[in-house]
Each structure stands twice: as C-alpha cells, then as structure tokens.
Amino acid sequence: MNIPEQVKRLIETFDRNIEAYKSGAYNETQLRREFIDPFFIALDWDVNNTKGHAEAYKDVIHEDSIRIGSATKAPDYCFRIGGTRKFFLEAKKPSISIKGDPHPAFKALSSASSTVDLLLEIP
C-alpha cells in the first residue's frame, strides 16, 4: 500500500517538531486543524464537506451528538459512509498520555456502540 505524500509530510513535520507539540502549549484545536483534518483529507474523507452534501450524507460530522444510555456524548469526529456511522475519533492534545490518564480513553470508549473508536498514543 502506498502512503499518500501528504501523509508522509504530516509525519515528517510532526516528528521534526514533536517536543514542541508535546510541551502542553500546543492545543487540541491546533492538532485537529494542522494534522488530523489534513490526514483524513489525504485519505479522501470530505472532512470540510467541500462537496456540499446535505447534512444526512456528510462524510464527517464534527461534534456529532450520540445517546449512550441516558447520557449524550459528542465525539470530535464521526465518520460516515452514505449517512451510516462507521467510526468515531476523539482527539486530545499530544501532551496528554492516554496510558497515564484513563479519562481520554474512557471518553472515546464510552462513545462506542457498534462502531470502532480510534485511540492513538503519540510515542
């Protein structure tokens, strides 16, 4: 499988500046705009609805509301195909360790129903 050039550049940029990103000053919004959104765009997800799909057919819903029992959750991203939820992504700034702090992992897992959540730990 070939890795898209944009994904390679994102990896190189992140690796080159990892200490700054993990310092705590780099926030979740920056991570989403500079790395997560471009990553999924490079994989052909219409993250910004540039194709102008109606709400029911957007590829990606940001802060999608889902009911889990009696609670309502809003994972950062909900990825859909043909309007059907396929997986959620909960973003956290790179300085947060999901190994050392179970809360971020719990939040992502509590959003899961019949879908898969992505939990990525930055080394």
CATH number of the CATH domain containing 44:
3.90.1570
The helix or strand, by DSSP H or E, that contains position 76, with its residue range, turns out to be none
- Running DSSP on this structure, what letter comes out for residue 55? G
58: in domain: yes
14: in domain: yes
Sole residue written with tokens 């700054």: 20
Range of the domain at 89: 5-118
Among residues 66, 30, 32, 31, which one has the least CA distance to residue 47?
Answer: 32
pLDDT digits (tens, 9 = 90+) for 67-84: 777 777 788 999 999 999
70: in domain: yes
123: in domain: no
Q: Could you say which residues of the chain have pLDDT below 70?
A: 100-123
- pTM, to two decimals: 0.79
Helices (H), the chain: 5-16, 18-21, 28-31, 37-42, 102-110
Domains of the chain: total: 1
